[in-house]
Amino acid sequence: MAKPHVTMEVGNDGVAVVTLVNPPVNALAIPSKYLPLPLSVLTINLRFFFVIDCVEFDGDAVIAGLKEKFDEATRRNDVKALVLTGKGGRFSGGFDINVFQKVHATGDISLMPDVSVELVVNTIEDCKKPVVAAVEGLALGGGLELAMGCHARIAAPKTQLGLPELTLGVIPGFGGTQRLPRLLGLSKAIEIMLFSKPIMSEEGKKLGLIDAIVPSQELLKVSRQWALDISERRKPWLRSLHRTDKIGSLSEAREVLKAARQQAKKIAPNVPQHQACLDVMEEGIIHGGYNGVLKEAKVFKELVMTETSKGLVHVFFAQRMTSKGKSRFQGNEIARYDQACDCEILEIPKVTDVGLKPRHIRKVAVIGGGLMGSGIATAFIVSNIHVVLKEINSEYLQKGTKTIEANVRSLVTRGKLTRDKADKALSMLKGALDYSDFKDVDMVIEAVIESVPLKQKIFSEIEKVCPPHCILASNTSTIDLNLVGEKTSSQDRIIGAHFFSPAHIMPLLEIVRTEKTSAQAILDLMTVGKTIKKVPVVVGNCTGFAVNRAFFPYTQSALILVHLGVDVFRIDKLISSFGLPMGPFQLQDLSGYGVALAVGKEFANAFPDRTFQSPLIDLLVKDGRNGKTNGKGYYIYEKGSKPRPDPSVLPVIEESRRLTNIMPNGKPINITDKEIVEMILFPVVNEACRVLDEGVVVRASDLDTASVLGMSFPSYRGGIVFWADLVGPKHVYDSLKKWSQRFGDFYKPSKFLEERATGGIPLSAPASSSSGSRSRM
């Protein structure tokens, strides 16, 4: 892998073209002065046992290279003007996020370079010669900020422009909070930054961020000419930071900021970067752009060190790690460093490390057109993959087809799909009432109800009608796949493709392998999973797999608390305040009591020592409640209004409490808000420890990704294992131990947790850090 660098070519026209070279996204890397020696951290958990072995490379990084080339161009008499661009059709994906990770690992903020004044203001914006940015593909974060420091921006069509820094727990740090409002107005700038929503160059042109859009092949030619035109005063020489024309009056700006602060409180109540971003913008409006830049740099550095940034940066890399064969070196604990490619090899054991090539999946059959089946079918057709949807009668088939049409329409309404693409997608769907269309499918995904005999029947039928290469997948969320495939002789083709509802929207795809599933089937499903824009996480076979298994104690513990006398609505409110989209009882209303009962039964069979038997759901059903489906559960659901707590559910809960009779001395327990949250989430951590111990996931960060994408665990907390490590395994262990003595074995700490907590080892440390781990991979 070539080292990140910057090139400069000076043409006969007197224009120096300065090019960022750091594939794949031309991230703005810093001199690797303090980079750790890769091998020193390979088996050590990066976040907790970081060892710094300094090695000095010189002059190879993008930021240092940029300064050097600009200085040279300024000095040279044959250079009249400059064009800044990126190699490989992508301008820049921004500042190198690996540096954040290193700062988090070492706690050394001095690794962050001071770029915003020295490079963007002094070197680029105040350059004695005009500078034009030639932008293509994407200009995100620091990439767009460099472009905004230039005196004009020429873009290729459909270039993505955005400042997504808030998704990493920081704010733009190269002057973006100051220049974006000055270029396109305060309201639009706030929208782009607060929602981290990129715009296309076409919109950028309308708003004034982009000066011209030209075809890709003319980008450099036009940019060179534009730069010469500025130098010869045929075009204006504009410094963004000096502009005020789009900001409006101070009182108008304050009104806009006030409204944005209210909105930020709603959309991001638990994180600091949204309010900080608005404060920094306000500083620039009141005291001028340069002071804004200074405050931005200070706040940026403070935010980098927050737990929010640590969590979000962890999630950024964890998501990209789930299925990667190779990756640039990041010091990941699970990886093997490969000197030949100067990268690390992140393997899915016995899948990505055995030299297989993925096969192309062209046609998929989905069995069952219910909520899950129709969502899955939608995900495939919108990614240009043919789907045969099979149902048992024409009424169900019609219902399934209608749901798919509605799904596709909703994607159009939300701007995720054009009308043309929607029509094309729907033309790729075919309904079927028998197996005649299955003879040339590459994969079948069964998505019928959770019934072992029914699934066994279906799998023995499809084994006969599908071609021998066809992958036979089940969307079961809990049932052992060995059972599903028991009546077939195709165990090597049987695999779990566990989507999360709504399947066309939720990004997680749990790929469940049994001991017999072939590596080829796993690789193919991983590959097609990425094609349909899912994040595939390969997991081992056990009841509930990784996500549902780790999270089954979530509802269980909430139920225990209710039966100990804690109010359901208090629990839901606290869990929402913690950052999950809703509490466990509203979730039960939403997913339906039938699902809760069926899934509960599976877990009770598999883990009888840690299930809590409660009559509550039966009592709710007897009381005419079915959750959201009939508008009445713990909450009342009415069209057009938010769910409202239903006080009439309280006598039903009282009856359930009377029957279980677990309140100490018959009295509700006294408990703090913090303890409620911990009593619900620490059992999840405990189960996650068992999942890690049994090797159900390849690496701890996969469970973090799965918890964020499958359970909507707040990404700014980094995922369930990451969060537990921040809270401290010792605290989790001590609390569970205390509760187990008071409330029973449900809370008993697992062996893995005990070992890690007492040994002072993070839960995310690799298996070799503690003894006795088994693997299901």
Bond from prior residue into 502 cis (ω within 30 degrees of 0):
yes
Contact flag: residue 702 with ligand 3HC (CB under 6 A): no
Q: Which is nearer to ligand 3HC, 327 or 527 (CB)?
A: 327
- Shortest separation between residue 320's beta carbon and ligand 3HC, angstroms: 4
The token pair that represents 646 in the structure block: 């239903």
Q: Which stretch binds ligand 3HC (CB under 6 A): 136-144, 301-309, 447-455, 596-604?
A: 136-144
- Candidates 16, 38, 69, 145; binder of ligand 3HC (CB under 6 A) is 145
Contact flag: residue 142 with ligand 3HC (CB under 6 A): yes
User: Is the distance from CB of 290 to CB of 280 less than 8 angstroms?
Assistant: no
Q: What is the DSSP annotation of 21-90?
A: E-TTTT-BPPPGGGPBPGGGGTTS-TTTS----B----S-SHHHHHHHHHHHHHH-TT--EEEEEEGGG-
- Candidates 327, 460, 576, 773; binder of ligand 3HC (CB under 6 A) is 327
Q: At what angle do helices 250-267 and 273-287 cross, to 10 degrees?
A: 170
The contact pattern for ligand 3HC, residues 328-367, with x = CB under 6 A and - = no contact, is: x---------------------------------------
Backbone angles phi, psi at 500, to 5 degrees: -115, 145
- At position 274, the amino acid (one-letter code) is H
Contact flag: residue 27 with ligand 3HC (CB under 6 A): yes
Give the single-character DSSP code of 394: H
Contact flag: residue 4 with ligand 3HC (CB under 6 A): no
User: Is the distance from CB of 102 to CB of 304 less than 8 angstroms?
Assistant: no
Contact flag: residue 168 with ligand 3HC (CB under 6 A): yes
Gap between the Cα atoms of 726 and 307, Å rounded: 8
Gap between the Cα atoms of 207 and 204, Å rounded: 5
- Shortest separation between residue 140's beta carbon and ligand 3HC, angstroms: 4
Contact flag: residue 566 with ligand 3HC (CB under 6 A): no
User: Is the distance from CB of 142 to CB of 95 less than 8 angstroms?
Assistant: yes
Q: Which is nearer to ligand 3HC, 165 or 524 (CB)?
A: 165
Q: Which is nearer to ligand 3HC, 292 or 584 (CB)?
A: 292
Q: How many helices (H) and strands (E) does the chain have?
A: 28, 22
User: Is the distance from CB of 152 to CB of 235 less than 8 angstroms?
Assistant: yes
Where residue 175 falls (left for φ over 0; alpha for ψ -120 to 50; beta otherwise) is left
- Shortest separation between residue 30's beta carbon and ligand 3HC, angstroms: 11
Q: Which of residues 401-430 bind ligand 3HC (CB under 6 A)?
A: none
Contact flag: residue 447 with ligand 3HC (CB under 6 A): no
Contact flag: residue 733 with ligand 3HC (CB under 6 A): no
Q: Pairing state of beta strands 152-155 and 131-135?
A: parallel
Q: Which of residues 97-116 bind ligand 3HC (CB under 6 A)?
A: 97-98
User: Is the distance from CB of 585 to CB of 558 less than 8 angstroms?
Assistant: yes
Q: Which stretch binds ligand 3HC (CB under 6 A): 167-175, 525-533, 677-685, 744-752?
A: 167-175
Q: Which stretch binds ligand 3HC (CB under 6 A): 22-30, 56-64, 469-477, 732-740?
A: 22-30
- Shortest separation between residue 530's beta carbon and ligand 3HC, angstroms: 9
Contact flag: residue 173 with ligand 3HC (CB under 6 A): yes
Query: What residue is closest to ligand 3HC based on CB?
Result: 141
User: Is the distance from CB of 215 to CB of 276 less than 8 angstroms?
Assistant: no
Q: Which is nearer to ligand 3HC, 140 or 150 (CB)?
A: 140
Q: How far is CA 24 from the centre of its chain?
A: 20
Contact flag: residue 584 with ligand 3HC (CB under 6 A): no
The active-site residue out of 125, 136, 165, 602 is 165
Q: Which is nearer to ligand 3HC, 29 or 587 (CB)?
A: 29
| Dihedral sign (CA 563, 564, 565, 569) | negative
The active-site residue out of 145, 283, 391, 510 is 145
- Candidates 127, 138, 146, 276; binder of ligand 3HC (CB under 6 A) is 138
- Sequence-separated (6 or more) residues with CB below 8 Å from residue 459: 446, 472, 474, 484, 485, 487, 488, 494
- Candidates 243, 324, 430, 776; binder of ligand 3HC (CB under 6 A) is 324
Residue (of 114, 112, 189, 187) closest to 148 by Cα position:
189
- Candidates 243, 246, 320, 416; binder of ligand 3HC (CB under 6 A) is 320
Q: Which stretch binds ligand 3HC (CB under 6 A): 21-29, 183-191, 218-226, 229-237?
A: 21-29
Q: How far is CA 452 from the centre of its chain?
A: 33
User: Is the distance from CB of 360 to CB of 387 less than 8 angstroms?
Assistant: no
405: annotated active-site residue = no
Contact flag: residue 292 with ligand 3HC (CB under 6 A): no
Contact flag: residue 136 with ligand 3HC (CB under 6 A): no
* Measured CA distances, 33 to 58, 101, 560 (Å): 7, 15, 54
Q: Which is nearer to ligand 3HC, 47 or 235 (CB)?
A: 47
| Dihedral sign (CA 234, 235, 241, 245) | positive
- Candidates 172, 400, 536, 714; binder of ligand 3HC (CB under 6 A) is 172
145: annotated active-site residue = yes
Q: Is 109 exposed, middle or buried (0-12, 13-18, 19+ CB in 10 A)?
A: exposed
- Shortest separation between residue 1's beta carbon and ligand 3HC, angstroms: 10
Q: Is 436 exposed, middle or buried (0-12, 13-18, 19+ CB in 10 A)?
A: exposed
Q: Which is nearer to ligand 3HC, 328 or 570 (CB)?
A: 328
HEC profile of 225-293: HHHHHHHCCCCCCCCHHHCCCCCCCHHHHHHHHHHHHHHHHHHCCCCCHHHHHHHHHHHHHHHCHHHHH
- Candidates 50, 70, 91, 95; binder of ligand 3HC (CB under 6 A) is 95
How many positions of this chain bind ligand 3HC (CB under 6 A)? Answer: 25
Contact flag: residue 280 with ligand 3HC (CB under 6 A): no
Q: Which stretch binds ligand 3HC (CB under 6 A): 166-174, 205-213, 428-436, 655-663?
A: 166-174
Q: Which stretch binds ligand 3HC (CB under 6 A): 67-75, 137-145, 384-392, 481-489?
A: 137-145
The contact pattern for ligand 3HC, residues 64-93, with x = CB under 6 A and - = no contact, is: -----------------------------x
Active site residues: 145, 165
Residues interacting with ligand 3HC, by CB under 6 A?
Answer: 24-25, 27, 93-98, 138, 140-142, 145, 164-165, 168, 172-174, 176, 320, 324, 327-328
